């Protein structure tokens, strides 16, 4: 399996570091406030930081996946609760999964300045290849 269209820096986000603690904070908040913070980053001068730009795109992808999860999980929960009503008392806990994962990503981003996450980074690279290359 080759990556013909990708060259060095685009293959991995791992070498990108934040310039300031503010970069880490803004990037971490993008995983908690899925659409608000990433859009603010992408329409302001914060997009000039590669660290912020990558996390903004990853935050958008994460938010989109979370919305799809909520829709699918709601459908499954409705069906299962209709079949076995007491399950409704337990299944509501699943709605916290995206929030817990977002808090984990935010923690890793703020504490370690981490940029590369399994699957999320791969999807972000494939969806936003051109936008990640340049801030304009």
Handedness of CA 121, 126, 128, 131 (dihedral sign): positive
Instruction: Say what the pLDDT of residue 11 is.
Output: 64
Instruction: Say what the pLDDT of residue 14 is.
Output: 72
| pLDDT tens profile 51-86 | 999 999 999 999 999 999 999 999 999 999 999 999
Q: Is 125 within a domain?
A: no
Among 1-10, 15-24, 39-48, the range scoring the smallest mean pLDDT is 1-10
Q: Is 134 within a domain?
A: no
Q: Is 133 within a domain?
A: no
Are 106 and 32 in contact by the 8 Å Cβ rule? The answer is: yes
Instruction: Say what the pLDDT of residue 52 is.
Output: 92
Instruction: Say what the pLDDT of residue 136 is.
Output: 59
Q: Is 110 within a domain?
A: yes
| pLDDT tens profile 84-127 | 999 989 999 999 999 999 999 999 999 988 888 888 889 988 88
How many domains does the chain divide into? 1
Q: Is 1 within a domain?
A: no
- 26, with CB counted inside 10 A (0-12, 13-18, 19+), is buried
Q: Is 71 within a domain?
A: yes
Q: What average pLDDT does range 25-48 have in this prediction?
A: 93
Is pLDDT of 7 > 60?
no
Q: Is 86 within a domain?
A: yes
Q: What average pLDDT does range 22-36 have in this prediction?
A: 93
| Domain hosting residue 43, numbered range | 19-120
Q: Is 62 within a domain?
A: yes
């Amino acid at each position: 399996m080759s990556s013909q269209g990708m060259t060095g820096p685009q293959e991995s986000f791992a070498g990108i570091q934040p310039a300031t603690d503010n970069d880490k904070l803004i990037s971490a908040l993008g995983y908690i406030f899925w659409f608000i913070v990433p859009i603010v980053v992408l329409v302001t001068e914060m997009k000039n930081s590669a660290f912020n730009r990558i996390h903004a795109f990853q935050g958008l992808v994460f938010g989109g996946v979370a919305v799809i999860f909520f829709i699918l999980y709601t459908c499954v929960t409705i069906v299962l609760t209709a079949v076995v009503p007491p399950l409704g008392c337990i299944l509501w806990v699943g709605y916290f999964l995206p929030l817990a994962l977002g808090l984990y990503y935010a923690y890793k981003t703020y504490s370690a300045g981490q940029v590369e996450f399994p699957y999320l980074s791969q999807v972000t690279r494939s969806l936003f290849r051109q936008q990640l290359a340049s801030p304009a």
